[in-house]
Amino acid sequence: MSASGGNCWWAFDRLFKCCRQLPELPSRDVCFIGGDKESLCAGSHLIVSGREFTEGNVVWRFELETSRWFKGPSMMDPRCLFASATCGTFGFVAGGIEMGLLGAKVLNSAEKYNPETKSWESLPCMHKKRKLCSGCFMDDKFYVIGGKDEKDMELTCGEAYNKDKNTWQLLPDMLKDEDNPVAKRQSPPLLAVVNNELYCLETSSNELKVYLKNTNTWKKLGEVPVRADLHKGWGVAFKSLGNELLVIGYSSAIANGNGNCNGMTIYTCRPEAEREELRWRCIEGYKDRLNFFLLNCCVMVA
């Protein structure tokens, strides 16, 4: 994970018993260092995408085996504000914005990263152009959900890429919710999949929901213990960690005056189908190690 107030990455083990600072990313481009970056993992590679002043959108990768950073390979369609997900050792990206000489272009293209060949492979295009969308893997499919289209209109639909058929399926109204309309989601949707079930952290209410596939609706599971609403969903990590949900951010208890920590707080829980409200476990020991506003966070299975 990488937090505001620093330019380094920190790696934590699965149980958060130990951590280490990664070697400094070697880019000296001030645009890349100070600008927004996006990240995903593919096998033992950490992929960090950003923008450099001279080259435009670029990719840096950290290889766990050698503990070294390398530049490239660039995506076939360099992009930002895209959806991403990991399946096995492969990384998938779709949508986003391509920054060109004529301005910003919203994409519907998709591609896959192979860490063994260190290369990108083009995938079929999605039905919709979309930016600020989110990705996940569920039912052995790459889902791209929400975001905005080329007219800056909110999208409540999702799409699912079937690897075996090499096709996309459009899924209407995945984020349609009369109580919390999609327009309230300022950041890309905060999604995580555990035990093949999709969970969403609603940024306007700090509420956790689980997706009911049979009815295309969402069930409320109560509030999470961090304040996702402080920055409209930005700066919060919401991930799957094996058979648990992981959320990192500014503690609700601290925000309510019940704590004295200024750094990040880490919580995990094991979702259970029979339980109406989840039990969150606070991970101690790293509260003051990083600023609570996370710029990037990835889970690597290697």
Q: What would the DSSP string read from start to end of 145-211?
A: E--B-TT--B---EEEEETTTTEEEEETTTT--SSS-GGG--SSPEEEEETTEEEEEETTTTEEEEE
125: tokens are 């295009």
* Strand 10-12 to 19-21 pairing: antiparallel
Q: How far apart are CA 91 and CA 222, in angstroms?
A: 31
pLDDT on residue 178? 47
**Residue 148 — pLDDT band, cuts 50, 70, 90?**
very high
Q: Residue 182 phi/psi, 5° resolution? A: -60, -25
**Tens-digit pLDDT profile for residues 51-81:** 998 888 999 999 999 999 999 999 999 999 9
Q: How confident is the model at residue 17 (pLDDT cuts 50, 70, 90)?
A: confident
Q: What whole-number distance in Å separates Cα of residue 151 and Cα of residue 265?
A: 37
Beta bridge partners, 251, equal 226
Give whole-number Cα distances, 145 to 54, 131, 206, 291, 299, in Å: 32, 10, 19, 29, 20
Determine which of 151-160, 181-190, 232-241, 287-296 has the lowest per-residue pLDDT on average: 181-190
- The residues, ordered by sequence, that sit 6+ positions from 76 with a Cβ below 8 Å of its Cβ are 109, 111, 120, 122
Mean pLDDT of 254-262: 53
For the chain, the structural domain boundaries read 2-296
- DSSP state, 127? S
CATH architecture of 2-296: 6 Propeller (2.120)
